Structure 1
Amino acid sequence: MKTWMCAMLMTMAVGASAQNPIISGQYSADPTARVFNGKVYLYPSHDIPSPIEKLKEWFCMADYHVFSSSNLTEWQDHGVIVSQDKVPWVQDGSYTMWAPDCVEKDGKYYFYFPAAPKGEEKGFGIGVAVADHPEGPFMPMWKPIEGVHGIDPCVLIDKDGQAYIYWAGAGLHMAKLKPNMTELASEPKQVEGLPEGFKEGPFAFERNGKYYFTFPWVREKDGTETLAYAMADHPMGPFTFKGIIMDESPTKCWTNHHSIVEYQGQWYLFYHHNDYSPKFDKNRSVRIDSLNFNPDGTIQKVIPTLRGVGLTKARSHIQIDRYSALQGKGIGIEYLDKNNCFAGWKTLFSKSNTALIYNKVDFGNEKVEEITVRAKSVKGGVLVVRADGKKGNIIAKVKIPKSAAWKNVRAQVLHAPQGVHALHVSLQSGADVEVDWLGFI
């Protein structure tokens, strides 16, 4: 019975993601996060391997999905909400459904998206699709917004109800929107006060009476994008440049694109990286990390993590390769299958006395009795799992047998924690132990 229960619980947990990247099984980029009806809704673009030769080495996007979550760890895919073949004004087979946005006004949800218009050799238009619910179904308007030519739309609705739209294309631009949310109420105006260098992907928000204009910025010639920001006392400026939110990717993912949202008292930065496509940075995946402000309202720099945010349930597959910290030389992370990166990662304990920490594991109020570790090792070894550090109580010791094949190795729990704890996982003895995941029942 216990073996059957273990298998059942582990199966139910498959697909839940409590670490970065948060969306698995497909590429996702340019994430706009919004809070509607007590949930976070995520509207990313959708990178795909190009079916046409023209875009084999470039961005290729044919549709949009929407995802939702109430805990930032388990995301539901509501499916396709807009696709290029269902929008009357979009050029057939253009694969240009780039970074979108979605806002709510007066009970209607307005989804803004860029694409290549029919009858034009170059350039983008920005269209609107309307729905009664945040997950759709969305009905696209029959033509793009007149007077807006560019990409990466973002809409801010101020406290007085006035809506503003921001976009990129030969600089960054902004304008007021009419109450119908589909037409401009003012002439486009270029955003001034920003540093020199390539900029795109604007995202604007308000906090404590201050307006934040954030954007990807290439500050060095031939460099990769940072995330930067400026502040103002009005949605249309004048803006004063303040600095960097996130530095360039050390692994040379050329783009970064983001949104910033408050949920349940904490602010979060949604952004992307090419985790599932290390050799081709035009196929990206969405990440989340916490974002904090200084007392004067300026933004503290965000350091990207693998662990991400939210609690991981102890009774799930805990992907310890999305660690919070590594300890010692001889421990590392590799893809499970280099030909299928969506399969995820594994942790390699090459030497004894190496360890990692995985934060925020929720054991709940009922004590766990058993641990399962999916592992393999040609030499064998003993893993020790502790609560809250190398001097914490030993939760379990797991003897990993010699095996060239993956095995689910079980052991009794020695000390069952309750509530939320960090896991400290170390190789006490042996060598070359590989771990896919671990979990408790």
Structure 2
Amino acid sequence: MNFKKYFILALLYVVPAFTVLAQNPIIRDQFSADPTARVMNGKVYVFPSHDIPAPPNKNLRENWFCMPDYHVFSSEDLGEWTDHGVIVSQNKVAWVDSTSYSMWAPDCIERNGKYYFYFPANKNVAGPNGRKGFGIGVAVADKPEGPYVPEENAIEGVFGIDPNVLIDKDGQAYLYYSMGNIYVAKLKENMTELATKPVAIANLPEKGMKEGPFVFERNGKYYLTFPHVENDTERLEYAMGDSPEGPFTMTGVIMDESETGCWTNHHSLIEYNDQWYLFYHHNDYSPQFDKNRSVCIDSLFFNADGTIQKVIPTKRGVGVTPASGKIQLDRYSAISENGATIAFNDTTNTFAGWKTTLANKGAWISYNTVNFEKKNSGKVVVNAGALNGGKVELRIDAVDGPVLAEIDVPESKEMTVSKTKINKVEPGIHNIFVVAANDNPVEIDWISFE
């Protein structure tokens, strides 16, 4: 059998209660992009931008980004995310043009018990050069969830987008942003004013757009990471240096261009519970329009010399999934080359998720890192349908592994929920495989164990 495999790079952070339902995208009820992830107060907070379909009669650029506000999301296990609602809106910032829908990639950082949220937007007043253009503002809160109070004015001396802030080990804060080049400037202690004039960072690619910088330090090395259009769409690249201001040396690629044509890819990197993660975005819920994007996570690893191993994007995402949860097989970790396909449940409402079709005998799909407890050893619950009736085998740990159950999928035009007794499963972490047992096509939405 020929296989096409999309394996997870490693087993990720395991939560004691195994409550993770971690799959990509991680935000499943709205579009989200440009994720800046930060570890704050023992949790991971994600500060993304917010894509929306363009409202009618707003005189907006056709088929372009439409981004009115920012939410913040938090999680302790990287699987279950809490939406804390809107924290900054274009309608409630004094210096922002409230008709521009241009609140692009943000950042947030903590200092001395205060949380500073940095965001770009179009100004409502022209500057000295006669252009309104983009400014970068700051909103301040006492908690990462907010409420945030925007400063009255944008940061003076900054004309650009995609802010990122690094506080170095000596306490000096640096602001990075992009506008043609990638710039760096020191911030004052108050985190809302520049201490030095912005300087364009040298030794970066001159050809192709660069934007969305994200800088971090690891083992004494500084990593300047950014999206760059080397060919036709953005890929994530990085440079390394010995100082927050450089000089930097171009080093490698973190993630290649999207194979399905999402033109942008913005990102951030964090270490959480001894594992590094890459947060990025892709247009999973909007495959025909890449200006509506969604945040994803995958694991990231370093080589012994400090260079970054390239991240291959997955549908499975990160973490452990409880056997008692609804396991979305379409967020697979591996899939057969022939006879297995993924499609939306409802093309008019993509947030309803996806389904798996196994079209012929031997077609299979796998979902890894499922936690079985003793209480999960009774039955498998399957939401599936087969126009002519069908049968699938549930196998464990390998496509030719032990059979847990033979599941008869009832003849139906609609998906129905059925239960089948399973053989005993040893408690612990297992990979599951669902294999078509005959040539009658079967559609599967989810499975669960009880």
Match of 2:189 in 1: 179
1:200 corresponds in structure 2 to: 211
| Structure 2 residue matching 1:404: 3-state secondary structure | coil
Shift, 1:419, TM fit: 1.4
Offset, 1:395 = 2.3
Match of 1:320 among 320, 324, 329: 329
Q: Distance in 2 between matches of 1:188 and 1:105?
A: 22
Aligned pair count reads: 425
Distance 1:357 1:31 in 2: 28
By how many angstroms is 1:418 displaced? Answer: 1.2
**Which residue of 132, 155, 161 maps to 1:151?**
161
Q: Aligned with 1:199: secondary structure? A: coil
**Are positions 1:20 and 2:24 aligned together?**
yes
CA contact (8 A) 2:31 2:52 kept: yes
Match of residue 215, structure 1, among 226, 229, 237:
226
* Alignment match, 2:120: 114
Matched, 1:354 2:327: no
The equivalent of 1:59 in structure 2 is: 65
1-side partners of 2:96 and 2:312: how far apart? 38
Higher relative contact order (CA 8 A, sep 6+): 2
- 1:430 CA drift (Å): 3.9
Distance 1:97 1:328, change over 3 A: closer
- 2:342 corresponds to which residue? 333
Report the CA distance between 1:247 and its aligned residue. Answer: 0.6
Shift of 1:122: 4.0
Alignment of 1:42-191 (within 5 A): 42-51=46-55, 52-120=58-126, 121-191=131-201
Question: C-alpha offsets along residues 220-243 of structure 1, whole Å, 9 cap, x if unaligned?
Answer: 2xx100000000000000000001
Aligned residues: CA RMSD: 1.3
**Do 2:48 and 2:106's aligned partners in 1 also have CA atoms closer than 8 Å?**
yes
Taking a change above 3 Å as real, the CA distance of residues 263 and 208 of structure 1, as seen in their structure-2 partners, is: same
Q: Would you say the 8 A contact 1:17–1:75 is kept in 2?
A: no
- Is 1:366–1:418's contact at 8 Å kept on the other side of the alignment? no
Separation of aligned partners in 1, 2:251 and 2:186: 24
8 A Cα contact 1:81 1:136, kept in partner = yes
The answer as to whether partners of 1:359 and 1:421 remain within 8 angstroms in 2 is yes
Instruction: State the distance in 1 between where 2:264 and 2:21 align.
Output: 23
In the alignment, does 2:349 pair up with 1:343?
no
Letter matched to residue 422 of structure 1 = N
Q: Output the CA distance in 2 between the equivalents of 1:108 and 1:142.
A: 17
Shift of 1:118: 1.0
Deviation at 1:18, TM superposition (A): 1.4
* CA drift at 1:16: 7.7
Q: TM-score, normalised by structure 2?
A: 0.92
1:301 corresponds, among 299, 302, 310, to 310
Provide the C-alpha distance between the structure 2 equivalents of 1:189 and 1:262, rounded to a whole number of angstroms.
28
Name whichever of 187-196 and 98-107 sits farther off.
Answer: 187-196
1-side partners of 2:115 and 2:192: how far apart?
12
Letter in structure 2 aligned against 1:375: A
- 3-state DSSP of counterpart to 1:85: helix
* CA distance in structure 2 between the aligned counterparts of 1:123 and 1:351, rounded to whole angstroms: 56
Q: 1:378 aligns with which of 361, 382, 387?
A: 387
Unmatched runs of 5 consecutive residues or more in structure 1 = 1-14
Mapped to 2, the partners of 1:16 and 1:276 lie a distance apart of 21
CA distance in 2, matches of 1:258, 1:102: 14
Please give the secondary structure, in 2, of the residue aligned with 1:403.
coil
Partner residue, 1:440: 449
Work out whether 1:250 is the aligned partner of 2:259.
Answer: yes
1:380, 1:430 within 8 Å by CA — same for their partners in 2?
A: no
8 Å contact kept, 2:124–2:132:
no
- Alignment check: 8 A CA contact 1:146 1:184 kept: yes
CA-CA distance at 1:328 after TM superposition: 4.3
| Amino acid across the alignment from 2:228 | W
SS at match of 2:438: strand
- SS at structure 1 position matched to 2:284: coil
Aligned counterparts of 1:374 and 1:55: Cα–Cα separation in 2 = 42
Partner secondary structure for residue 147 of structure 1: coil
**Mapped pair 1:396 → 2:405:** yes
The TM-score, its normalising length taken from structure 1, stands at 0.94
| Contact 1:371–1:439 under 8 Å retained in 2 | yes
Structure 2 residue aligned with 1:410, among 419, 435, 443? 419
Query: In structure 1, the residue corresponding to 2:437 is in which secondary structure?
Result: strand
2: distance between equivalents of 1:155 and 1:435?
44
Residues 275 and 285 in structure 1, CA contact (< 8 A), matched pair in contact too: yes
